[in-house]
Amino acid sequence: MRISESKIEEIRNAANIVDVVSEYVQLRKRGRNYIGLCPFHSEKTPSFTVSDEKQIYHCFGCHNGGNVFKFLMEYKKISFIEAVQELAEQFGIELNYDDSVPEGQSEQEILFDINTEVARYFSNNLLNDGEGQIARDYFQKRNIKVQTMRAFGLGYALNGWENLVSFLKQKNIDLEKALQLGLIGRNKDGRVYDKLAGRIIFPIFSPNGRVVAFAGRKLREDDTGGKYINSPESIIYVKGRILYGLSFAKDEIRKLDKAIIVEGYMDLISLYQAGIKNVVAVSGTALTDDQAQLLSRYTKNVVLLFDADTAGISASMRSIEILLRKDFDVKIATLPSGEDPDSFVNKYGKDEFEEVIKRSENFLEYQTAYYEKQGMFNDPTKAAEAIRELVRVISLVQDDLKRAFLVKISRKFNIRENLLERELDQVLSKNKVVPKFQENLIDTKHNISTKLFDEKIRKFSTPQNFNFEIEIIRFLFGNDEGTSKYILENVDEEDLEYEIHSYIIKKAKETYNTNLSFAPGELLLEFDDEVRNYILSWEKKFITEKNYDTDDNIQRYVQESIRRLRERNLELKIKLLTEAIQNTTDEEYKKKLLIENKDLINKKKELLKFSGIS
């Protein structure tokens, strides 16, 4: 039985998100919205916003957001159904159930239920069945306690071809669904069989603690399968979007504002048992963009702790790039040769392990030391390759000050700092947000090409120009809808020199004109991940660096930013026209340019006069 959609909608309408969130977060009104300190990550400056009008919340720091159900699910670590039930009880709404739910939703819940039932079965085999002694011995040799086995739902699949199949039939569980989940397989003759037979079982949980998949590790020498057999992807499990152990670790990660990433299941379990709980595992797969995005909801500080073999080093290098692109601070910890996190913490204990983490290196130190150990700096050709690779990775760091600090690390390895700076400037120049072809001021019939015009735009473009536009984007996605509306009504996409900023304004205007309303947090959902992350990266800097006392101060600052933006555009056009006038030999064309240039100069004077600038 399921809660009907109509009943869920009734509860959503009854539960005002501001009232619900206020029970857990101290909110204060700012403009039309409410702000407070985010309950999902550590912060000193409020970046958590609740919209009474749109009935949503959003944190511009950790990017967590959603409706009132999502807030309770995240805050209390409960399921959607539990959140609905809690709100129904709170607001005195009687629940009713029906089976007329969309097939996709019903299918998903059925698969979750099957996994939960099978996880209990595997756990009981490990803890209580006589045959489970082989698995209990394995875990005991690895110093895993019974309470840890219970906490992580560890299990054992009885050896044989039909033990799980018989259990599923006894529980009237749809075998086709079990096949879909990869719990059982089917022979060519059509018979079904246990797919994980004779293996220890690691249930894999979603961030909210629901069993989405299983990994089975072989124990017996006569098992001809791979070391691990993992569940196939399904509508409830996408491997690249799950971090093993996150449901156990997320509270500690938020508390410490740091996550340790390890490779395997046993690494994580042993560390957790030793009291080191801010740990997640990639579980035999390379770190993905989705996993990094998921982790960014809880922290932006990461320590990578992979094996020191070739595969582990390669995995570290790949992970560094992915994390830097998501604006993480990345450090690398290294264990003694022959040790992994599991063996190390069992030999030396929690305190020694924490010392290893404290000694973790900045990612650039790690990479540079690795290249030095490989002897790459002893050969000019290889040294050039190494330096270019280091610079390429440094260029992924978004913060200018952080990049400057990283460049100074080169002194430690006798690499010339100015060499790195020169290489870095070249890379950043290539990767720079490219100004768009703003307006065809110069007639292409007079032998001035679009390409040349674009080059001139770049020539006159300055960091200040970029900063003017960023200020507009920052305030557009601030918490005050009045300010956002003012920007949309006074700034056009043609006013902006940089393509991405022009695109953002255009998209925001389209949304505003369609809905006749504007909620900055909700608008973010209109953009893809790349653009949304770009917006949020600047929004976070705005929140932490700027502090305006009143809405009037904000409005005055926005008005001034727009004025400076228009002045900048006029100056740019005047410069381009002046250069064109100097270069042309066509007198008729020169007259046209002079008239247009004079008109622009007058517009600039009017703009300065209006703003009180003489």
Residue 427 pLDDT > 70, yes or no?
A: no
448-453 long-range contacts, Cβ below 8 Å, gap at least 24? 448/580, 453/576
pLDDT value of position 375: 78
End-to-end CA separation in angstroms for the chain: 74
Which CATH code for domain 103-237? 3.90.980.10
pLDDT value of position 173: 93
DSSP 3-state of 381: helix
CB atoms within 10 A of CB 79: 18
Residue of higher predicted confidence among 599 and 544 = 599
* Confidence category of residue 409, pLDDT binned at 50, 70, 90: low
Residue 543 pLDDT > 90, yes or no?
A: no
Fold of 2-98: DNA Primase; Chain A (3.90.580)
Q: Which residue, among 498, 481, 487, 493, has the nearest Cα to 561 in the 3D structure?
A: 487
Domain with CATH 3.40.1360.10 in the chain: 246-359
Rounded to whole angstroms, the Cα distance separating 520 from 33 reads 10
| Mode of pairing for the β-strands spanning 2-3 and 28-30 | unpaired
Residue of higher predicted confidence among 101 and 470 = 470
180-187 long-range contacts, Cβ below 8 Å, gap at least 24? 180/111, 180/234, 181/111, 181/114, 181/115, 181/213, 181/231, 181/232, 181/234, 182/213, 182/214, 182/230, 182/231, 182/232, 182/234, 183/114, 183/118, 183/214, 183/231
The pLDDT tens digits of the residues spanning 379-391 come to 777 777 777 777 7
pLDDT value of position 394: 74
Whether 192 contacts 175, CB under 8 Å = yes
The pLDDT tens digits of the residues spanning 446-457 come to 333 333 333 333
Domain with CATH 3.90.580.10 in the chain: 2-98
Over range 57-66, report the average pLDDT. 85
* Confidence category of residue 420, pLDDT binned at 50, 70, 90: low
* Residues constituting the chain: 614
Rounded to whole angstroms, the Cα distance separating 122 from 149 reads 11
Class of domain 246-359: alpha beta
Residue 121 pLDDT > 50, yes or no?
A: yes
Rounded to whole angstroms, the Cα distance separating 269 from 203 reads 12
Over range 207-234, report the average pLDDT. 90
Tell the residue number behind the tokens 């996408």, with chain if given. Answer: 238
CA angle, residues 351, 354, 356, in degrees to nearest 5 = 115
134 contacts: CB under 8 Å, gap ≥ 6:
156, 219
* Confidence category of residue 271, pLDDT binned at 50, 70, 90: very high
Over range 199-216, report the average pLDDT. 92
Query: Poorest-confidence range of 23-32, 290-299, 379-388, 393-402?
Result: 393-402
Q: Tabulate helix, strand, coil % of the chain (nearest 5).
A: 60, 10, 30
pLDDT value of position 380: 74
DSSP 3-state of 200: strand
pLDDT value of position 316: 77
Whether 593 contacts 574, CB under 8 Å = no
Which architecture characterizes domain 444-610 according to CATH?
A: Orthogonal Bundle (1.10)
Over range 138-164, report the average pLDDT. 96
For the record, the structure tokens of 273 come out as 């048992």
Tell the residue number behind the tokens 């990094």, with chain if given. Answer: 292
Over range 210-216, report the average pLDDT. 93
Over range 193-215, report the average pLDDT. 92
Query: Poorest-confidence range of 48-52, 111-115, 515-519, 546-550?
Result: 546-550
| Mode of pairing for the β-strands spanning 155-156 and 199-205 | antiparallel
Q: Which residue, among 19, 59, 14, 53, has the nearest Cα to 35 in the 3D structure?
A: 59
Over range 208-215, report the average pLDDT. 89
Rounded to whole angstroms, the Cα distance separating 290 from 301 reads 16
Whether 372 contacts 414, CB under 8 Å = no
